Chain A
Amino acid sequence: MKETKLGDFEETLLLLVGILDKEAYAFKIAEEFESQTQRAVSIGAVHSTLNRLSEKGFLTSEMGEATAERGGRRKRIYSITAHGERVLKESRDFKLSLWNQYPAFATGKLNFIFE
């Protein structure tokens, strides 16, 4: 049985795949990660995680079209599966439920805006 837990980095990547949609391939995801989080990451690390997420069944992928700046090579485009979306949602709900149990938030002392 493959592990179905979602780590923090995995969750972020999953979301980034969703955001980038048709442009979701390893290099772009790594760039997006760096620009959104201001943290450096290697393409290898991203690729390895994407690979793992695919093994868990949260992502599927297929080869996209070739472009000139890649020396005519094709890229692998990732997309979230239904299972992946469900896991993302569960993760968000779980965190929300935790937030709701947090008294400071419940009494409105902390101001966060959700959706």
Chain B
Amino acid sequence: MTKNKNHITPPSLAEKLLLWFLKEELAEEVLGDLDEKFYTTLNKNNLSKAKRNYWFQVINYMRPFAFKFLRSKLFNNTAMVKHNFKVSYRQLLRNKVYSVINIGGLAMGLTVAMLIGLWVQDELSFNKYHKNYNNIYQLLRVNTDPDGIYVNTSLTTAMGTYLKTNYPDMIESASMVRARPQDMVFAYGENKFRQIGLFVEPEIPEMLSLEMIRGTKDGLADLRGVLLSETFSKKLFGDENPMNKLVKLNAEADLIVKGIYRDIPNNSEFENAGYLARMELIVGPDNMNIWSNYNAYVYVQLKDNVNPEPLLSSINEAYLPNFNEYAIESQMKFIMHPMKDWHLRSEWTDGKPSTSQAMSFLWLYGIIGVFVLVLACINFMNLSTARSEKRAKEVGIRKTLGSLRKQLISQFYIESFLCSFLAFILSLGLLTALLPWFNETANKEILAPWSNTSFWILSISFLLLTAILSGSYPAIFLSRFKPIKALRGGLKVGKHASLPRKVLVVFQFTISIALIIATITVSNQIEMAKNLPMGYDTEDLLAISPASPDFVDKRHIIREEILKTGMVTAVGHSNYPVTNDRGWNPGFTWEGMDPTFTNSFNTISISSGYADAVGMKFIMGRNFDENLESDKRAIIINRSAMEAMNLENPVGMMVTYNPRWREARTYEIIGVVEDMIKNSPFERTYLSVMFQDEGYMSWMYIKLNPSVNKAEAIPAIEKVYSSILPEAPFDFTFAEDDYAKKFDAERRVSRLSQFFSILAVLISCLGLYGLTSYVAEQRTKEIGIRKVLGASVINLWKLLSKDFTFLVLIASVISIPLSYQVLDSWLDTYEIRTNLSWWIFTAGALGGLIITLITVSFQSIKAATANPVNSLRSE
């Protein structure tokens, strides 16, 4: 064809593409047809249409029949490929045990890696649900207190209001949220539910890009408006349309439902927000611009391309004139904490970001995942290569019959692809089966990644890698044999051929033993904390915080009435729950106090029945007596406080308490109790002071009478309760359960580490089992001859087991210092930690050894007891 510029021709790029993939012998007719089509279209329509159509036609020629690549030189006829598959399949069937070990082991490894990969992915994608992810910041304050630099999340409302009104050119939107999610009771008709949610400003739904199912994002413009999550609205309203219905908040305020938003996913900072209501409702409309009370979180969404730094320095300056004494004294500064750092980078030491626990776990699990996967792959390669050595004869025969080296290579690769593909399918099944369990254990809501392209690309490329690595040894090494050598059996497998295999076994068992040790340590740590004396007794103890404004006034009547039922032994009130450490105050002075003493005290108020209800243990002195007027100015302290205050005999001592919010008062210490574990059991107990009946006594503790059946006692209490507080739901918890929640995080680590170590051990054992049987098989004749010459079964067992036992011993020697290092630094993150005593390491090593011996013995005893006639006869 002439390439004349005046002459219109089909697009040359499309033509090139066509010629690139099209079979040569089709080129002429196809090009001709397409040319004709092109000029016909050109005559009927215009040039661009003709060109577009030409492209369309070319792309439509991408069909199997027209491709030249599908006739690769390697697979020039399908019969050969089919034959290869058939042979591979028969190999798998003939060595069932090997196939199961090989494929099963790899599948397990893949499953673990996938689970961990999904988990890591979920952790890294935290908060990404919110579309303004990249622009949202939380304003934090840094205070330099006498005992260290602290980063705090709670600010004053005036700081938020100032920020909102003064930087319209940099800030897209800003909102305050009442510090800590609030637990409130919502009532609609007869339905009353306690729910955690947020008290916010109207900008929040837009800022967090909530998906509205009903209503709009500006539903909170109305001070009495409330937005509910989908789940909570279903719970409260059932199938009714909730829009514009009135709900009662804590039996006090009537709110109007202005919208329903889709539940915020589990991997968001705001996941537990079951409702959003106006912050003014609990702070008070007049308190939205004060500089003294630190009760608000401040979130800012910057405009695109705004740098937080200049804004920050401007804020730091602007706030300065409004600082109170404390703020100036502590050199209060502000930082902007970007949303992408909230989940994994939210821990601070001395005002500087430090590696958070979440981040450490991310690394820990990531490393474990990689290790388990590597273990499985090592096995897979190890076994495949070990097996393939047996097939030297097959290679010899194939070569004599005229096989090309290429064909042998493709045969071995096809086999390893088949194995890894089967393992992959199996692991997908395992993943589906394990995901619900994993989600529950890890407290996640991860979905199966079936529609995630990067998951498929990653898994398949990994699969190909494994297949190529494990297939390469037989494919490249074995196919090189001279047929005569291979057939004669003179195949020398060099003296050092088994060295890599030995190294791999050592590596596997190092990891397995380290994981066994870690599992023991983690559960030790939990057990130790669980067995610490709590200082109180949670058994049969009900905790309830009635959601009623009348409760505080009616609490004495309720107590009397509940005691009258005879179902309980004691009822007491407090202003904070016994299972957490809220209430935190400095300002205590006493005679003989060390002037450098700066500690704060955990301060709570209790009623006289409280000590009996929760079972406080008095070391000295006595409990409060309601009837003694003087006890209104009395306190009880705990053992830690007594020791920290350096008092020998504190009962009768006078202590002055000067909180900033009221005048100083002097109290007499009337009793000392054992420390009570109210915060994390892994931290030291705080210095604690208890007052009688001061503050807002919103908690009630009821000790059930142990001689009464719980199923009788609870309905009886509920009856009394509901008759006095009809507006509040009777939603109590068992203090025992509340206490158990303190171990949630550690229990999670424990269960996951158990799971991983069991898998790692299992995978290593599978590998070892495969290897021993391979060795035993190779030495069948040797064993036969030894037996004929009089070796006993024990002798032979020793012969076969000794090598592997030695390897495992080396593994223990390596893994002990390694695991000590890691575990010691993990335990260092706890104030209260278990000891890493020697027996844990011995147990780990011994465990590894016993498992090895059992695994190895299976094969070695089988080989040792076999009849030598059978092994020697065959030649």
B35 and A71 contacting across the interface, CB-CB below 8 Å: yes
Q: Mark each residue of chain A from 21 to 56: 1 if its CB lies under 8 Å from any CB of chain B, else 0.
A: 000011100110000000000111101100110000
Question: What are the residues of chain A within 8 A of B461 when measuring CB–CB?
Answer: none
Q: Verify if B334 is at the interface (C-beta below 8 Å from A).
A: no
Interface pair B60/A26, CB less than 8 Å apart: no
Q: Chain A at the B interface: mostly helix, strand, loop or mixed?
A: helix
Q: Which residues of B contact A45 (CB under 8 A)?
A: 60, 63
Q: Is A70 an interface residue (CB 8 A)?
A: yes
Stretch at the interface among A2-10, A72-80, A84-92, A96-104: A72-80
Contacting residue for A43 out of B1, B28, B37, CB 8 A: B37
Assess whether A106 is interfacial by the CB under 8 Å rule. no
- In this assembly, does B843 line the interface, its C-beta being within 8 Å of a C-beta of chain A? no
A1 is an interface residue with CB less than 8 A from chain B = no
Residues of B contacting A48 in the complex (Cβ-Cβ under 8 angstroms):
63, 65-66
Q: Is the CB of B60 within 8 A of A44?
A: yes
* A55 shortest CB reach to chain B, Å: 9
What residues on A are CB-neighbors of B31 within 8 Å? 70-71, 73
B875 at interface by CB-CB < 8 Å: no
The CA of A60 and the CA of B29, in the complex, are separated in Å by: 15
Q: Is A113 an interface residue (CB 8 A)?
A: no
B residues less than 8 Å from A75 (CB atoms): 29, 32-33
Check if A63 is an interface residue, CB within 8 A of chain B.
yes
Task: Determine if B32 and A43 form an interchain contact, defined as CB atoms under 8 angstroms apart.
Answer: no
A115 interfacial by beta-carbon distance below 8 Å: no
B29-A74 in contact (CB<8A): yes
Interface class of chain B by DSSP: helix
- Given A47-B66, A69-B39: A27 in contact with B33 (beta carbons within 8 A): yes
- B713 at the A/B interface (Cβ < 8 Å)? no
The reply on B167 being an interface residue by CB < 8 A is no
Q: Could you say which residues of chain B place their CB within 8 Å of the CB of A76?
A: 29
A43→B57 CA distance, assembly (Å): 6
> Which residue on A lies nearest to B62, using beta carbons?
A44
B interface bracket (residues with beta carbon within 8 Å of A): 20 to 34
Which of A47, A52, A66, A69 contacts B30 (CB under 8 A)?
A: A47
B56 at the interface (CB under 8 A from A): yes
Most buried by B among A45, A52, A70: A70
Tell yes or no: B121 within 8 A of A by CB.
Answer: no
Residues in B with CB closer than 8 Å to A52 are 65
**What residues of A have a CB within 8 angstroms of the CB of B37 in the complex?**
27, 30, 43
With a CB–CB cut-off of 8 A, which chain A residues contact B36?
27, 69-70
CA A45 to CA B30, docked complex, whole Å: 12
* Cβ contacts under 8 Å, A26 to chain B: 29-30, 33
**Which of A42, A45, A76 has the most chain B CB atoms inside 10 A of its CB?**
A42
Within 8 Å CB of A69, what residues of B?
Answer: 35-36, 39
Contact between B29 and A63, CB atoms less than 8 A apart: yes
The contact string, 1 if C-beta is below 8 Å from chain A, for chain B 12-41, is: 000000000000000011111111110110
A73 in complex: contacting residue of B29, B39, B59, B65, CB < 8 Å = B29
Q: How far is the CA of A47 from the CA of B65 in the complex (A)?
A: 9
Decide if B319 is an interface residue (CB 8 Å cutoff). no
Do residues B33 and A74 form an inter-chain contact, with CB atoms below 8 A? no
In the complex, what's the smallest C-beta–C-beta distance from A53 to chain B, in angstroms? 11
Cross-chain contact A44 with B57 (CB below 8 angstroms)? yes
Could you tell me the distance between the alpha carbons of A14 and B65 in the complex, rounded to whole angstroms? 19
- Asked whether A43 and B34 contact (CB < 8 A) given A48-B65, A69-B39, A71-B1, the answer is yes
Are the C-beta atoms of A42 and B57 separated by less than 8 Å? yes
B85 at the interface (CB under 8 A from A): no
Does B342 sit at the interface, judged by CB under 8 A?
no
Of A25, A51, A66, which contacts B33 at CB under 8 A? Answer: A25
Provide the residues of chain A in CB contact with B291, threshold 8 Å.
Answer: none
Return A115 CB to nearest CB of chain B, in Å. Answer: 33
Instruction: State whether the Cβ of B61 lies closer than 8 Å to any Cβ in chain A.
Output: yes
Q: How far is the CA of A75 from the CA of B30 in the complex (A)?
A: 8
* CB nearest neighbor in A for B34: A43
Q: Which of A30, A63, A74, A76 has the most CB of B within 10 A?
A: A76
Closest to B27 in A: A73
In Å, the complex CA distance between A51 and B26 comes to 11
Most chain-A Cβ atoms within 10 A of its Cβ — which of B57, B59, B62?
B57
Q: Is the CB of B60 within 8 A of A42?
A: yes
> B32 is contacted by which of A42, A44, A74 (Cβ under 8 Å)?
A74
Chain B residue nearest to A74 (CB atoms) is: B28
Per-residue A-contact encoding for B51-75, CB less than 8 Å = 1, 0 else: 0000011011111011000000000
A42 and B56 within 8 A (CB): yes
By the criterion CB–CB under 8 Å, are B1 and A72 in contact? yes
Q: Chain A residues near B35 (CB, 8 Å)?
A: 69-71, 73
Q: Residue on A with the closest CB to B28?
A: A73
Q: Which 3 A-B pairs have the closest CB atoms?
A: A73-B32, A42-B60, A44-B60
Which residues on B are within 8 Å of A, measured CB to CB?
1, 28-37, 39-40, 56-57, 59-63, 65-66
Can you report 5 residue pairs joining A to B where beta carbons are below 8 Å apart? A47-B65, A48-B63, A70-B32, A70-B35, A75-B29
Q: A44-B63, A47-B30, A74-B28 are in contact. List 17 more A-B contacts (CB 8 A).
A: A27-B33, A30-B37, A31-B40, A43-B33, A43-B34, A43-B61, A45-B60, A47-B61, A48-B63, A52-B65, A63-B29, A66-B32, A70-B36, A71-B31, A73-B29, A74-B32, A75-B32
